[in-house]
Amino acid sequence: MDKVNINEKLSLFSDYGNQRVVGELNGQQVKLVKQKGEFIWHKHENEDELFFVIKGSFRMEFRDRTVVVNQNEFLIVPRGVEHKPVAEEEVSIMLFEPASTLNTGNVENELTRHVLDKI
Amino acid sequence: MDKVNINEKLSLFSDYGNQRVVGELNGQQVKLVKQKGEFIWHKHENEDELFFVIKGSFRMEFRDRTVVVNQNEFLIVPRGVEHKPVAEEEVSIMLFEPASTLNTGNVENELTRHVLDKI
């Protein structure tokens, strides 16, 4: 039951695309990630995902539209919906999603991370 | 799949202790609430609760200790643990918890809200 300071946790890492778990509750996890550049198209069959921008901005591409998400905004991507996050500049994102969520969803490649560090 | 701007949602209400639902995913809800003053001692038998401070600060009293939570910090209160939020000044909090969570937990009184507005 210790509080978590988001900026303090963000200061602990600088690599892109490597999610850290900073909280767990009700089978869900709170994760932090820094991203820059294009991620890959993927979807999650069984998990809805929430992306909350702590710093910076990014755009979420869907097959039929694009949503730009800025600081202090969040976007929920429902299960089954293909999406691709793209960040022109570094963005820091807090994720809320089931603990079972794999970062690359239905795609497995060199970006896939099965085990995440808890910080 | 529209994004949610936290500050815009917070500008839509000013009453204390009246949680608004601003997002839903995986059986969980994202809620916003403004609080000032003392809430009541209560606990949730089956739900862990996350309190993320958007603006201001508050203290969470437990039976054996107190945790001060400031802007950009969050605190997870596990199910079964008695707690009482106290805010000397107005605080804006984002909650992440199961949709089944009742604001006053195991206590029912005039502060209990069974139905929350979605904004």
pLDDT for A99 equals: 93
| Chain-chain contact of A24 with B76 (C-beta, under 8 angstroms) | yes
pLDDT for A95 equals: 98
The residue count for chain B: 119
pLDDT tens digit string along B56-105?
999 999 999 999 999 999 999 999 999 999 999 999 999 999 999 999 99
pLDDT for B105 equals: 93
Long-range contacts formed by A16-19: CB under 8 A, 24+ apart: A16/A90, A17/A103, A17/A111, A18/A113, A18/A117, A19/A95, A19/A103, A19/A113, A19/A116
Which positions in chain A touch B75 (Cβ < 8 Å)?
A: 1-4
| Chain-chain contact of A3 with B74 (C-beta, under 8 angstroms) | yes
The answer, as to whether pTM is greater than 0.80, is yes
* Residue A71: both structure tokens together: 């600081």
pLDDT tens digit string along A54-70?
999 999 999 999 999 99
Dihedral sign computed on CA atoms, order A83, B96, A33, B6? positive
Which positions in chain B touch A1 (Cβ < 8 Å)?
A: 62, 67, 75-78, 81
| Most A CBs within 10 Å, among B71, B76, B92, to test the A interface | B76
Q: What is the mean pLDDT of residues A86-114?
A: 94
Residue A42 makes CB contacts below 8 A (sequence gap 6+) with A82, A83, A84, A104, A105, A106, A107
pLDDT for A25 equals: 97
Please give, rounded to a whole number of angstroms, the shortest distance from the CA of B62 to a CA of chain A: 10
Please tell me the distance from the alpha carbon of residue B18 to that of residue B4, in angstroms, as a whole number: 19
Q: What is the mean pLDDT of chain B?
A: 96
Which of these ranges, A77-81, A101-105, B68-72, B89-93, has the smallest mean pLDDT? A101-105
Which positions in chain A touch B2 (Cβ < 8 Å)?
A: 67, 75
| Chain-chain contact of A74 with B25 (C-beta, under 8 angstroms) | no
Please tell me the distance from the alpha carbon of residue B19 to that of residue B94, in angstroms, as a whole number: 9
HSE-up of B118 (CA within 13 Å, CB side)? 5
Residues forming beta bridges with residue B84, ordered by sequence position:
B61
pLDDT at A1 over 80: no
> How many C-beta atoms surround the C-beta of residue B47 within 10 A?
20
Please give, rounded to a whole number of angstroms, the shortest distance from the CA of A69 to a CA of chain B: 7
Burial class (CB in 10 A: 0-12, 13-18, 19+), B66: exposed
Residue of B nearest to A9 (CA): B73
pLDDT at A41 over 90: yes
Which positions in chain A touch B72 (Cβ < 8 Å)?
A: 5-7, 54
pLDDT for A85 equals: 97
Q: Locate the DSSP E strands across A1-119.
A: 4-5, 20-25, 28-38, 49-55, 57-61, 66-70, 73-77, 84-98, 117-118
pLDDT at B9 over 90: yes
pLDDT at B1 over 80: no
